[in-house]
Amino acid sequence: MFGCAQRIALRAGRGDPSTCRADSKRRSCGKRIESEESLRVVQERYQLGLATILELQDAQITLTQAEVDLVNGRFQYEAALAGIEALLGRRLDQPQP
């Protein structure tokens, strides 16, 4: 059976908050890791004269956007969690009375 917080989250169409957080974090971290590796490769190619400055800047921008997406995802999760806690009138990390 679902607890009150899970029922509220499911009714809001967001699924289990911990599952949403884990999935979002996995995607954001994966995107960041891919962007870091891409930047590293482009930097190597640029130093060898095989890539243009535009390719290097594009890789840097892509990494920065991945980092922004990761921060935004964390913020959205925390905001949703705060909304659930406000509906419940208590923090979720505290035991129910």
| pLDDT tens, position by position, 8-64 | 555 555 555 554 555 666 677 888 899 999 999 999 999 999 999 999 999 999 999
Residues in the chain: 97
State residue 1's pLDDT score: 41
- Cβ neighbour number for residue 61 with a 10 Å cutoff: 12
Cα distances (Å, whole numbers) of residue 61 to 49, 66, 68, 81, 84: 20, 9, 10, 30, 34
Quote the tokens at residue 70. 């990761």
d(CA 43, CA 56): 6
Please state the pTM of the whole predicted model: 0.66
d(CA 92, CA 11): 17
